[in-house]
Amino acid sequence: MDPVVIEKGTVLRLLQHLKPEKPSDPNDIHPRIMKTISGVIAEPFDMSLRQSRRPRDWKNAVISQ
């Protein structure tokens, strides 16, 4: 099976096309927030997808509003 290639630009484009009028996801992160910070989080998401793993800090993070 060929490896799946996911580029940072693809991740960024998908994040920027989120619909801000939609409800929050199961993690209670509103699409408007994801869209706003898409430029910052596209690279870590891209790396995580390419490596098929999540950084340890993501697993242990406590995120609040």
Helix axis angle, 8-16 to 38-51, nearest 10°: 130
Collapsing DSSP to helix, strand or coil, 55 comes out as coil
- Specify if 46 maps to a domain: yes
CB 36 within 8 A of CB 9: no
Q: Is residue 54 part of a domain?
A: yes
- Amino acid 63: pLDDT: 61
**Which pLDDT belongs to residue 2?**
74
pLDDT tens per residue, range 13-55:
888 888 878 877 676 778 888 888 888 877 787 778 777 777 7
In a domain, 50, yes or no: yes
The residue segments making up the domain with residue 15 are: 8-60
pLDDT of residue 20: 78
Report helix, strand or coil for 58.
helix
Asked if residue 2 is part of any domain, the answer here is no
pLDDT value, residue 64: 56
Q: Rg of the chain's alpha carbons, rounded to an integer?
A: 13
| 35, part of any domain | yes
* Count of structural domains within the chain: 1
Q: How far apart are CA 16 and CA 42, in angstroms?
A: 10
In a domain, 31, yes or no: yes
**Does residue 49 form part of some domain?**
yes
Whole-structure pTM value? 0.51
Supply the pLDDT for residue 4. Answer: 67
